[in-house]
Amino acid sequence: MSLVVQKFGGTSVADCEKILAAARKAIRAQQDGHRVVMVVSAMGKNTDMLVDLAGQITETPPAREMDMLLSTGEQVSVALMAMAIHSLGYKAISLTGGQIGIRTDSSHTKARIRSISTQRVLNLLDQGYIVIAAGFQGIDEDFNITTLGRGGSDTTAVALAAVLQADQCEIYTDVDGVYTTDPRVLPEARLCAQVSYEEMLELASLGAGVMHSRSIEFGKKFGVPIRVRSSFSDYPGSLIAANSEAPNLPVSGCAMTKDEARITVIGVPDVPGVSRRLFQPLAERKITIDMVVQNVGMDGRANVSFTVPRKELKAALKSVHESIADLAQDTHPPIEVHSDDQVSKVSAVGLGMATQVGVANRMFQALADAEINLQMITTSEIKISVLVSREQALPAVRVVHQAFELAQVPPGAVTEAQIPVAQKPVDAVDVVARLQSVGMEDLMIHEVTLDDSQAAIALTGVPNSPGVAAAIFQQLARADVFVDMIVQSYFTDENANLTWTVPRSQWEKAFAVAQQVVDLGLANHVQPYPTIAKLCVSGIGLRSHTLVGSLLFEALAEANINIRMMNTSEMRFNVVVDGRDGERGLRCLREAFGHYVR
Ligand code: ADP
Ligand code: ASP
Ligand code: MG
C-alpha cells in the first residue's frame, strides 16, 4: 500500500478553517488508498511571535531554551490537526519529534537530523491512523528538544518520507508550486512543471524560501520525489526530482538573498593558512560564508572579501577581529576590516550554464544596461551570484528574470502531462540503511578531483562602476572563450579585482582580451596564471555543512598550499591553487575528506 507524506506550512494551518481543510486533504488521500503521514508547521506567524517574545525578555536567549519555546508552536498545530480529523470521523494521532524518535545533534536552533525511528509510525499507519508529526523539531541524545532552523518543517517532511520509503512527499504551501523566482516579488514569474534537485538546492540556498534547502539535500540523497503545491487549489504544482524541466536552459530560475552583509579584510599577509585563520573560526561557529574573494597578493599582502547572512554580521565581525588580532600586531600598515550590511545577493541558477559560452556576459550586460553596480561576483558550475546594494536588489532580480526570458515557457520544456509517475531509485533503501547508521544529515562527499586543464587571468585596478564586468565578458564571449570560474570584488573604490579561469587551450585568446581591456583603460594591470590547478570537493549540501570549509582550509594550510581563488555551491567546493601544488593538494584533500566519502 502506498505511503504519502503531506506537509502543511504555517499559512496552510493559519486558522481553524484551514486546519479543517488540510485535515480533509489528508482524509481524501487515505480514502484514495494511501497511508498518510502529515507534517505540520506552527500556525501562521506563531513562530515569529515566539521569537519576538524571547526578544522582549533578553537579547541573547540561550539556544536550548529557544528550542524549548519554538517547538511549542508545532505542538499546538498537530494537536488541533488530530482533533480536526477526529471531528470528521477518522482516526488520527499527533506525535512530537521526540515521540517519533527524530534524533538530532545538539546544535540548538540549527540541529541536524541523525536518525529517525520508523516502527511506531508504521504500526500506527497499519492500524489505520493518519499520523501527524510536529515539523521542525527533534531531540538530542540527552532528550533536549532541538529545532532544525527556520523553515525546517520541510526537512522533517522529506526526511520522514525518506525513512518511510514514501512514494511521494507533498509540500502544501501558499503558492501554486516552484516559480522561476518568488512570485510575490515578481508577479511575472512562471510556475515550473519540474525542477531538478540540483537547481532547487541551489535556488533554496540562495534565497528561494519556498523550500528549506536541507530538505532538498534529503530529497537528492534518498531520491524522494517532492511535489510542491498549493493548499488552496487543486493545481498539480511542481515536481522536484532528478531531471529539470528543460535541461539545456542556461538559466532556469533566479533568487535573491535580501539580507546579506559584506566583510572586507584589507592587507592580510598573503601566505598559506590565512584562509584557515579567518574562516575556520567562522565555520566552527556555524556561520555560513559565501562569495569569498581573495585578490592577488601585492607586496606580500592580500585583501579578502566575503558575505555572511546579515543577522550573523555581528558574530562574524567578532570572529574576524579575533582571528587577525595576533597577525595585526606586527603588520604595517595595519590590517583594516570593513563591512557593509546594506547589500543583497542576486543569483541566476541553471544546469545548462555549465556548458555554454556567454551566460555570465548576458547577465552582466543586462545589469549594466540597468545601471546596476556589481560590488562582487562569484560563480559556480550552475550559478552566478552578484552582490548589489539593497535598494537595487529588486530591480536586479527583474532584470535577470527578463534577460533570460524566464517568464516564457522554454523550448522543449516538459509539460505536466509528460512527467512520468515518479519512481524511487532502486538503491534508496540501501542509502537509507547506510546513512541511518552514520547520521542521515551528515556530510556526504562524492569525490575529490583535480582539474589541471585550466588557466587563470586576473585584472587589478578595475574601476568601481556599472558596466565594467559586462564590457570584459562581452569581449570574451565574442572571442568564443568559455569562462569557468569568475570572482570579483571591490576592495576600495579604486581597487577592484577581477579573476576568471578558462581552458588552457583558450588562454592566449583570453589573455589578449585582458590586454585590450587594460589598453582601453578599464583596468590597470593584467596578471596571467597559465598554470593553475582547480581542486574540487563534490557532494551534497556543501555550503550548509560549514565543516567542509573547516576541513579544506585546515588541510591546505597544513600542506602549506596557498589558495588563490575559491567558489562554493551546494554541490561543489572549488579552490584554485598554483599548478605545481595540484597533485599534492589532491592527495591531502582526499585524505581530509576520506572519512566522508559515501
Ligand atoms: P510555508 O509556510 O508553507 O512553509 P513559506 O513562506 O516558507 O511557506 O514558503 C512559501 C513562500 O516562498 C511563498 O509565499 C513565496 O513568497 C516564497 N518563494 C520564494 N521563492 C519562491 C519560488 N521560486 N517559487 C515559489 N515561491 C517562492
Ligand atoms: N514553524 C517553523 C518556522 O516558522 C518551521 C516551519 O514553518 O517550517 O520556521
Ligand atoms: Mg517554509
Decide if 413 is inside a domain: no
Q: Are residues 23 and 166 in the same domain?
A: yes
Decide if 524 is inside a domain: yes
pLDDT digits (tens, 9 = 90+) for 127-161: 999 999 999 999 999 999 999 999 999 999 999 99
Question: Which range, of 88-92, 319-323, 430-434, 533-537, averages the lowest pLDDT?
Answer: 430-434
Q: Are residues 228 and 281 in the same domain?
A: no
| Residue labelled with grid coordinates 508529526 | 133
For residue 327, pLDDT beyond 90: no
CA of 231 relative to ligand 1 center, distance in Å: 12
Looking at residue 467, what is its pLDDT?
A: 83
DSSP-based three-state secondary structure for 441: coil
Looking at residue 463, what is its pLDDT?
A: 82
Q: What is the mean pLDDT of residues 511-531?
A: 90
Looking at residue 552, what is its pLDDT?
A: 93
Task: Name the residue of 11, 13, 41, 231 to mutate for ligand 2: max ligand atoms within 8 A of Cβ.
Answer: 41
Decide if 511 is inside a domain: yes
Question: What pLDDT band is residue 435 in, cutting at 50, 70 and 90?
Answer: low
Looking at residue 182, what is its pLDDT?
A: 98
CA of 9 relative to ligand 3 center, distance in Å: 6
Report which bound ligand comes closest to the CA of 156.
Answer: 2
Question: What pLDDT band is residue 432 in, cutting at 50, 70 and 90?
Answer: low
The CATH number of the domain holding residue 265 is 3.30.2130.10
Decide if 229 is inside a domain: yes
Decide if 64 is inside a domain: yes
Measured CA to CA, the distance from residue 5 to residue 22 in angstroms comes to 13
Measured CA to CA, the distance from residue 82 to residue 80 in angstroms comes to 5
Which grid coordinates belong to 195?
A: 525542477
For residue 335, pLDDT beyond 80: yes
Task: Evaluate: CB of 137 within 6 angstroms of ligand 2.
Answer: no
CA of 573 relative to ligand 2 center, distance in Å: 29
**CA–CA–CA angle 341, 262, 462 (5° rounding):** 120
CA of 211 relative to ligand 1 center, distance in Å: 7
Q: Are residues 260 and 352 in the same domain?
A: yes
Measured CA to CA, the distance from residue 526 to residue 92 in angstroms comes to 68
Looking at residue 3, what is its pLDDT?
A: 97
Domain boundary among 246, 265, 281: 246
DSSP-based three-state secondary structure for 563: coil
Question: What pLDDT band is residue 426 in, cutting at 50, 70 and 90?
Answer: very low
Q: Are residues 374 and 515 in the same domain?
A: yes
| Residue labelled with grid coordinates 498549493 | 230
Report which bound ligand comes closest to the CA of 148.
Answer: 2
For residue 425, pLDDT beyond 90: no
Q: Are residues 395 and 328 in the same domain?
A: yes
DSSP-based three-state secondary structure for 339: strand
Which grid coordinates belong to 526?
A: 593584467
Question: What pLDDT band is residue 234 in, cutting at 50, 70 and 90?
Answer: confident
Percentage of the chain lying above the pLDDT 90 cut: 73
DSSP-based three-state secondary structure for 409: coil
Domain boundary among 199, 218, 246: 246
Q: Which residues contact 509 (CB under 8 A, 6 or more apart)?
A: 479, 480, 481
| Closest among 216, 234, 213 to 224, alpha carbons compared | 216
Q: Are residues 75 and 143 in the same domain?
A: yes
Closest residue to atom 12 of ligand 1, CA basis: 210
Question: What pLDDT band is residue 567 in, cutting at 50, 70 and 90?
Answer: confident
Decide if 421 is inside a domain: no
Q: Are residues 237 and 277 in the same domain?
A: no
What domain range is 150 assigned to? 3-246
For residue 183, pLDDT beyond 80: yes
Residue 150 DSSP code? T
Domain boundary among 197, 227, 246: 246
Q: Are residues 240 and 258 in the same domain?
A: no
Looking at residue 434, what is its pLDDT?
A: 65
| Residue labelled with grid coordinates 531509485 | 425
For residue 12, pLDDT beyond 60: yes
Measured CA to CA, the distance from residue 355 to residue 443 in angstroms comes to 27
The answer to whether the beta carbons of residues 340 and 254 sit under 8 Å apart is no
Size of the chain, expressed as the number of residues it contains? 598
The answer to whether the beta carbons of residues 533 and 581 sit under 8 Å apart is yes
**What's the chain's average pLDDT?**
92
Q: Are residues 226 and 369 in the same domain?
A: no
| Closest among 253, 226, 239, 247 to 383, alpha carbons compared | 253
Percentage of the chain lying above the pLDDT 70 cut: 95
Q: Are residues 315 and 184 in the same domain?
A: no
The CATH number of the domain holding residue 194 is 3.40.1160.10
Measured CA to CA, the distance from residue 559 to residue 219 in angstroms comes to 36
Looking at residue 422, what is its pLDDT?
A: 52
pLDDT digits (tens, 9 = 90+) for 73-85: 999 999 999 999 9
pLDDT digits (tens, 9 = 90+) for 340-376: 999 999 999 999 998 888 899 999 999 999 999 999 9
Decide if 347 is inside a domain: yes
When divided into structural domains, the chain yields a total of 2
Decide if 439 is inside a domain: no
Measured CA to CA, the distance from residue 473 to residue 384 in angstroms comes to 13
The answer to whether the beta carbons of residues 40 and 81 sit under 8 Å apart is yes
Question: What pLDDT band is residue 19 in, cutting at 50, 70 and 90?
Answer: very high
Closest ligand 2 atom to Cα of 42: 1
Q: Are residues 171 and 98 in the same domain?
A: yes
Closest ligand 2 atom to Cα of 152: 8
Q: Are residues 547 and 482 in the same domain?
A: yes
DSSP-based three-state secondary structure for 111: coil
pLDDT digits (tens, 9 = 90+) for 34-53: 999 999 999 999 999 999 99
Closest ligand 1 atom to Cα of 231: 3
